[in-house]
């Protein structure tokens, strides 16, 4: 399975999909979250974080670039590159060290950051009526394992 399409009628559906994805993620995975402003990327990230056991608030990393989380099974780094436009600043930020075999990286606005590590899962969201259409594509074996389990 290399692609999964879903319709998410409400915010709760987006959160629920995130919670379902959480236990299927393996350390080392990179997820690119695509879609316009307000598409639901941070909402999906919140669902994933809740599914991993995070109890507190999930801040959008719009201003901080990255929000770090630590779980027993893995580290999770939530990026938002929307405001990050200077490639030199990015290269000097050490952000590449976050992409390592112990961590899962969720990246909003990956298209704004040049030379990001490739995605295991590429997730696109767009408005569809009152809800959201989501397409999840796998680009690696780890990504395909994840989608196979999501399908079951």
Ligand X SMILES: Nc1ncnc2c1ncn2[C@@H]1O[C@H](COP(=O)(O)OP(=O)(O)OP(=O)(O)O)[C@@H](O)[C@H]1O
Comparing CB distances to ligand X, the nearer of 73 and 83 is 83
Told to check if 137 binds ligand X by CB under 6 A, we report no
The values of phi and psi at residue 76, to 5°, are -130, 130
Beta bridge partners of 6: 134
Chosen residue from 39, 48, 119, 146 binding ligand X by CB under 6 A? 39
Q: Is 7 helix (H, G, I), strand (E, B) or coil?
A: strand
Angstrom distance (rounded) from CA 38 to CA 36: 6
Q: Among 14, 42, 103, 137, which residue interacts with Mg ion (rule: CB under 5 A)?
A: 42
Q: Which two tokens stand for residue 40?
A: 């639901």
| 108 is a contact residue toward ligand X (CB under 6 A) | yes
Scanning residues 54 to 93, which ones bind Mg ion (CB under 5 A)? 60
- Using CB under 5 A as the criterion, which residues of the chain lie in contact with Mg ion when the complex forms? 41-42, 60, 108
Q: Which residues make up the interface to ligand X (CB under 6 A)?
A: 8, 10-11, 13-14, 35, 37-43, 60, 80, 82, 108, 131-132
């Amino acid at each position: 399975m290399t692609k999964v399409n879903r319709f998410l009628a409400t915010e709760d559906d987006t959160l629920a999909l995130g919670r379902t994805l959480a236990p299927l993620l393996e350390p080392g995975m990179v997820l690119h979250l695509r879609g316009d402003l307000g598409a639901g990327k941070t909402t999906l990230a919140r669902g994933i974080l809740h599914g991993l056991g995070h109890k507190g608030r999930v801040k959008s990393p719009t201003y901080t670039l990255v929000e770090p989380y630590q779980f027993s099974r893995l580290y999770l780094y939530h990026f938002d590159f929307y405001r990050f436009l200077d490639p030199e600043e990015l290269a000097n930020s050490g952000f590449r060290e976050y992409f390592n075999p112990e961590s899962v990286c969720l990246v909003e606005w990956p298209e704004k950051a040049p030379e990001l590590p490739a995605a295991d899962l590429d997730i696109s969201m767009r408005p569809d009526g009152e809800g959201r259409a989501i397409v999840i594509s796998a680009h690696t074996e780890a990504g395909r394992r994840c989608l196979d389990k999501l399908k079951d």
